[in-house]
Structure 1
Amino acid sequence: MIAPTNGKGAREGVRTMSEEAAIGGSGKSGQQLRDELRGPERSQEENAKRLISGEAWRSFCRSIEEAGAHLLEFPTGETATPGELQAQAMKYVLGLTQGGILQALQLSDPDTPRLVRSPDSEAKWGAENVDNQYLWCRVGPHAQYLISGNKNNVFEALLETKDGYMQLGDDQVFDTLLLSEIECDAEGRFEILLAAERPAGFSGNYMQMPPETRYWCVRQYFADWESEVPARFEIHRVGGEGEAPAPLTPARMAELLDEAGLWTLQSTKFWQEWIDQLRRDHVKGRLLGPVPFVGGARDIVYGNDWWSLEPDEAMIVEFEVPDARYWQIQLCDLWFRTMDWATRQTGLNHAQSYIDPDGRARFVIAHRDPGVQNWIDTWGHPEGMIQYRYVWTKTKPAPRVKIVPFERVREELPNHTPSYGLEERRLALAIRHRHLQRREPVT
């Protein structure tokens, strides 16, 4: 149930996932998954000894080693470059390790909150949306936080208070707020109060943190990659200005190494269970209809399935354009990551797609450029995950799929489908590369 707004962009109360929400992979989530992952309880003294002896560090390194071995054991096909998929698997593990290390560094202390990007264009995980920038920040309901920033001209952003990561069994979303709902000044500047309870008399932008809250998260949505600029966010703990964190103890560092190792290894196994399920249940030429998923955002329905193509085949996906503020379709690789979206066209959204006069969108998934605007590049991979999202939607049209010889693609598309030349493609890809610099600035 969506919590009511106060007319100034604030929402109150906790929202619960619909009973119809699907669970991917092994089907485990929530408390069941948390119980399975729970490690041995150790005293502060035991953890201090583990750190000083080097055992905590060795345990962290073993987690990374096991993550890499787990992926190398997964059966794969081949691309034109032998061993490429295994090489990508090791790059994936590096990105997951970066995500795990974030848990022990920037995301370790709710008293010194820091915003970080995760995933990003290189360190990918969880079939992230090619149109999203993801920001995470560690927070806690024992404190209040003031978030300030500027909307700029980003298409939209979804702000959430959460208990954590769905791959760790923490799949609750407590409060949400859209950037478009936030009250701001004429120049787009805003402030948001994050607190366990709304202070008496406070009428500004507000998000609630129930007792289980551990993170504040942002998904920024980009539709027009040529012109949109990310919104800016800053956060500080109210009353914490000028305070230094407590000294880092050996016991605490051992705990952080354990958290980093668990995050890395469990992310590897959890998302690969999704891939295994999708691959096992795959029916060539079928694409499942859209449904909400446990752990996904409240206003999103997802269509998750598998694709596989021979070198001379293409897949045509078509659907009625949904009555939605935003929608997109994309490919992911064997490792549950989006494919290279900055230099290749591996996904398209509603603003980037050609819509036929009959109100339907048609996409060609192929290893080669078919000369149409709505080509989605397979990156030369023989198989992978296909995913589409309808966000803030009133309708949920199911797609139709047809597998055809590549040479017959134009025959299968409507006669009025315009051609898309090499120069047009080059310019479209250049927009993607420039957009990456704006989405992930270094300063």
Structure 2
Amino acid sequence: MPENTPNPLVDIDAWEAFCDELKAAGQQIIRPEAPIDDLSRAEGWRYLTRLTRIALDMFMECSDRDFPSFYRPSHETAKIGADNPDNHYLRAEINGAHDYLISGPRGTVAYLGFIAIAGGYEEEDGNMRSVGAIDTHSGLEINADGTIDVILSQTPKSGNWLKITEDTLAVLVRETYLDRSTEIFADLKITRLDSANSKPAPLTGAKLKADLANTAAFVKGTATLFADWAKGFKENPNSLPPADQEYCQKLGGDPNIFYYHGYFNLAADEALLIEVDDIPQCDNWNFQLNNYWMESLEYRYVQIHVNKHTAKYRDGGGVSIVVSSQDPGCNNWLDTTGHAEGTMAFRWIGADRIVHPRCTVVKLAELAQK
């Protein structure tokens, strides 16, 4: 090394600490209550690689808050916390001390919502709390040319204004489809309004070290959080109790959504019958199946969820959903895709009232006779 060349701030110890933290996250996959069948265990290890991919986008590739960009924090091959198969998720990292503009074509999705977030799963308390929200349910204004503009700032603005706070660190977008095959998602970009910088600053050792640490902490924190959730759901199987709605909001939940989470555990000759006798007025509702790690099952190729648009309704207006490993020939059958057990979720989105679903375990032979 030349005499006047400084020693690098980030040496191999930062990389080794990153690798050690990722290694420690593996303990969540072998917790004693977790399933030990080959499918669940294989999905668990894959889940950690997916969390790592998400975290690398979040903290390494898209973390410049002067030059923010949207990335997908959950999608078809990287999933977190009962990700909604009807959603196209976007997220951008921001600094609550500055103002930003989100703009672009509104698209045709049934529901479009923006949430400003403080905190994250990489932090000690694991909270990803909402500090402000604006959405189509509450009157998001659309421009005459079909585009939208949303200002993010601490002080109120005219038009579409999303409140942020000093500790805001990200904005999360939910674009909710009724039918993915026909609807067009909003094509959005985000720009900092008060930046004097013309180009991003070079990467520094200090930032790289912090980004590595946050990436690993996110993987470990997220894996731990939802393994804890699954453990709790498993204690009351084949039911869909209402979630703690206030707690859901602390973890980035949409304030227009009423959440239910549960656990299915079925024998090969059993099915879970989920019934809602009265469907309230709502922007959407849906039910989905997840694996133990709270990843939605493979919705690109298999029917693992149903919503307001895709459901077939009973003559009286209610709905019955059937969960099983084999097709019983019923309406709204959802395929467990080889899973004997796993988690599940039900949502009311923008509902004018709440109607609780009820669950019953039945024999497949009984369903075939109906």
d(CA) in 1 for partners of 2:67, 2:186: 22
Segments of structure 1 that go 5 or more residues without pairing to the other structure are: 1-47, 413-443
178-187 or 99-108: bigger deviation = 178-187
Normalising by structure 1, report the TM-score.
0.76
1:292 matched to 2:228? The reply is no
Q: Give the one of 67, 70, 74 matched to 2:28.
A: 70
Q: Give the one of 206, 210, 231 matched to 1:276.
A: 231
Alignment CA distance shift 1:305-1:293 (3 Å): farther
d(CA) in 2 for partners of 1:263, 1:283: 28
Give the equivalent residue in structure 2 for 1:360.
Answer: 318
Is the Cα contact below 8 Å between 2:103 and 2:149 reproduced in 1?
A: yes
Matched position secondary structure for 1:58:
helix
Deviations 1:12-46 (A, max 9, x none): xxxxxxxxxxxxxxxxxxxxxxxxxxxxxxxxxxx
Is the Cα contact below 8 Å between 2:230 and 2:293 reproduced in 1?
A: yes
Give the equivalent residue in structure 1 for 2:3.
Answer: none
Give the equivalent residue in structure 2 for 1:139.
Answer: 94
Letter in 2 for 1:282: N
Is the Cα contact below 8 Å between 1:50 and 1:254 reproduced in 2?
A: no
Instruction: Note the C-alpha offset of 1:125.
Output: 1.1
Instruction: Note the C-alpha offset of 1:335.
Output: 0.8
Q: How does 1:187-226 map to 2 (within 5 A)?
A: 187-198=145-156, 203-226=158-181
Give the equivalent residue in structure 2 for 1:154.
Answer: 109
Alignment CA distance shift 1:388-1:293 (3 Å): farther
Instruction: Note the C-alpha offset of 1:373.
Output: 3.0
Letter in 2 for 1:292: Q
RMSD value over aligned CA atoms? Answer: 2.1
Alignment CA distance shift 1:344-1:333 (3 Å): same
Is the Cα contact below 8 Å between 1:289 and 1:399 reproduced in 2?
A: no
1:58 matched to 2:22? The reply is no
Alignment CA distance shift 1:141-1:277 (3 Å): same
1:256 matched to 2:211? The reply is yes
Q: How does 1:225-236 map to 2 (within 5 A)?
A: 225-236=180-191
Instruction: Note the C-alpha offset of 1:239.
Output: 4.2
d(CA) in 2 for partners of 1:325, 1:291: 21
Instruction: Note the C-alpha offset of 1:226.
Output: 2.3
Give the equivalent residue in structure 2 for 1:267.
Answer: 222
Instruction: Note the C-alpha offset of 1:74.
Output: 4.5
Letter in 1 for 2:41: Q
Matched position secondary structure for 1:60:
helix
- Give aligned pairs, total: 357
1:127 matched to 2:85? The reply is no
d(CA) in 2 for partners of 1:49, 1:65: 28
Give the equivalent residue in structure 1 for 2:309.
Answer: 351
Is the Cα contact below 8 Å between 1:161 and 1:208 reproduced in 2?
A: yes
Is the Cα contact below 8 Å between 2:28 and 2:227 reproduced in 1?
A: no
Q: How does 1:313-332 map to 2 (within 5 A)?
A: 313-320=270-277, 321-332=279-290
Matched position secondary structure for 1:256:
helix
Instruction: Note the C-alpha offset of 1:381.
Output: 0.4
d(CA) in 1 for partners of 2:220, 2:198: 34
Is the Cα contact below 8 Å between 1:50 and 1:56 reproduced in 2?
A: no
Alignment CA distance shift 1:210-1:77 (3 Å): closer
Deviations 1:310-349 (A, max 9, x none): 0111111101223322111111111111111111111111
d(CA) in 1 for partners of 2:28, 2:307: 33
d(CA) in 1 for partners of 2:174, 2:221: 23
Matched position secondary structure for 1:260:
helix
Give the equivalent residue in structure 1 for 2:330.
Answer: 372
Is the Cα contact below 8 Å between 1:159 and 1:219 reproduced in 2?
A: yes
Deviations 1:369-397 (A, max 9, x none): 12233001111101111210011112211
Give the equivalent residue in structure 1 for 2:267.
Answer: 310
Letter in 2 for 1:115: F
d(CA) in 2 for partners of 1:154, 1:147: 17
Segments of structure 2 that go 5 or more residues without pairing to the other structure are: 1-5
Give the equivalent residue in structure 2 for 1:396.
Answer: 354
User: Once the two structures are aligned, what percentage of the paired residues are identical?
Assistant: 25
d(CA) in 1 for partners of 2:290, 2:8: 39
d(CA) in 2 for partners of 1:256, 1:145: 23
Instruction: Note the C-alpha offset of 1:164.
Output: 3.2
Is the Cα contact below 8 Å between 1:315 and 1:365 reproduced in 2?
A: yes
Matched position secondary structure for 2:287:
strand
Is the Cα contact below 8 Å between 1:140 and 1:209 reproduced in 2?
A: no
